[in-house]
Amino acid sequence: MAIFYPDILDQKTAPRTFTYGDKDVMLYALGVGMGQDPMNETELPFVYEKNLKVIPTAATVLASGLRGSAGPAPEMPAGHRPSQINFLMVVHGEQKVELHKPLTAHGTYTAQGRTAGAFDKGEGKGAVIINETIWTDEKGEKVATLTGSTFARGDGGFGGPSEGAPEPHVVPTRAPDLSVDFTTREDQALLYRLNGDRNPLHSDPDVAKRAGFPRPILHGLCTYGITCRAVLQAITDFDPDQILSHQARFSAPVFPGDTITVDLWKDGKNISFEARVKERGATVIKNGLTVLR
């Protein structure tokens, strides 16, 4: 397997149309822990179809029906060499959701993805690949831009640039302005995986042990969604339409049952955040930034 540079920058997916509905929106909210208390009327609108609200980070899963387990096959212009990444050595590094319009409770959109960048850390040191997916509506107007980076541990030394990758957001050095705790359920990964990510690392104890974990781990994008819950609860009074973008870097795994503490810093429309599991002294999300409208 090899990464061919700069050919990899011409990789893109064919435009694909997808539809989601209220069931998908509510399943995502349940998957990131909303609705554990059915009498909590501030969270109920995210898990009940009456006046349904959408968590902004649901954009990471609502188009999952249009991809298989290996993702959509890239297209390449004639004469270019397709790059092949060793996906067994890939780790999700960062994720950003930017909403050009607030998400609705149901909709039909077209998504198209491309490789937006590839950065070489050197032979034996891996590579950083940046992918971008844009949603457009039936008028051709942008609805959402999803940007994610992956760290390909086995693909360094391909001859691409070593500098120029986007720098992570730097959180303030002062004490957090707010902190909120969320206790995850023991079965949270089993519920969250129904949103589309059925990687057995999150459900099969034997697979988890072979990967070096004592038990299945929580999806990183589930933890990412929980940090968005924190912003909704602590900053926007559960109004998702106030959120323009939400981005973060993954730094350590969460185990179902862990209590996640999300620390937040408010500076105007910029909300910085990090997440940690106090019991293990682990920071699980770093360099987080939510931008409000």
- Per the listing, tokens 């902004």 go with 56
- What is the chain's Cα-based Rg? 19
What is the spatial distance between Cα 48 and Cα 52, in angstroms, rounded to a whole number? Answer: 6
The 8-class DSSP code of residue 211 comes to T
Query: Is 197 designated active site?
Result: yes
Residues near 161 by beta carbon (within 8 Å), at least 6 away in sequence: 119, 120
What is the spatial distance between Cα 215 and Cα 100, in angstroms, rounded to a whole number? Answer: 38
Q: Which of 169, 202, 219, 246 is catalytic?
A: 202
Strands, sheet with 107-120, edge to edge from the N-terminal-most edge strand: 16-20, 107-120, 127-136, 142-152, 90-99, 243-250, 282-292, 270-277, 259-267, 178-183
H-helix segments, the chain: 22-31, 44-47, 188-192, 205-210, 220-234
Q: Which of 120, 197, 258, 263 is catalytic?
A: 197
What is the spatial distance between Cα 224 and Cα 221, in angstroms, rounded to a whole number? Answer: 5
Sign of CA dihedral 222, 62, 101, 72: positive
Q: CA 231: distance to chain centroid? A: 15
What is the spatial distance between Cα 111 and Cα 16, in angstroms, rounded to a whole number? Answer: 5
Query: Is 237 designated active site?
Result: no
What is the spatial distance between Cα 67 and Cα 93, in angstroms, rounded to a whole number? Answer: 20
- Per the listing, tokens 């991809």 go with 67
Residues annotated as catalytic are: 197, 202
